[in-house]
Amino acid sequence: MNRLRAKLAADEIRSRVARVKPGLRRAGERVRGDHDMNPDLRPLPPLRPAAVLVPIVMHGSEPTVLLTLRSPHLADHAGQISFPGGRLEPGDPDAAAAALREAEEEIGLRRMHVEIIGRIDTYQTRTGYEVTPVVGLVSPPFELALDASEVAAAFEVPLAFLVDRRNHRRETRQDGSLTRSFWAIPFGEHYIWGATAGMLVNLAELLGTE
Terminus-to-terminus CA distance in the chain, angstroms? 8
Say yes or no: domain 10-206 is CATH 3.40.50.300: no
pLDDT in tens, 10-31: 778 888 887 555 555 555 577 8
Q: pLDDT 10s digit of each residue in the chain, 210 long?
A: 334 454 467 778 888 887 555 555 555 577 899 889 988 888 889 999 999 999 999 987 789 999 999 886 655 555 689 999 999 999 999 999 999 999 999 999 999 999 999 999 999 998 899 999 999 999 999 999 999 999 999 999 999 999 999 999 999 988 777 788 999 999 999 999 999 999 999 999 888 755
- Residue 1 is predicted with a pLDDT of 32
Residue 141: alpha-carbon gap to chain centroid: 21
Query: Helix, strand or coil for residue 101?
Result: helix
* Whole-Å CA distances, 209 to 50, 55, 163, 197: 27, 18, 7, 15
- Residue 105 is predicted with a pLDDT of 97
Q: What is the pTM of this model?
A: 0.89
Phi and psi torsions of 56, nearest 5°:
-95, 115
Dist CA 50 CA 71 (whole Å): 19
Dist CA 197 CA 161 (whole Å): 12
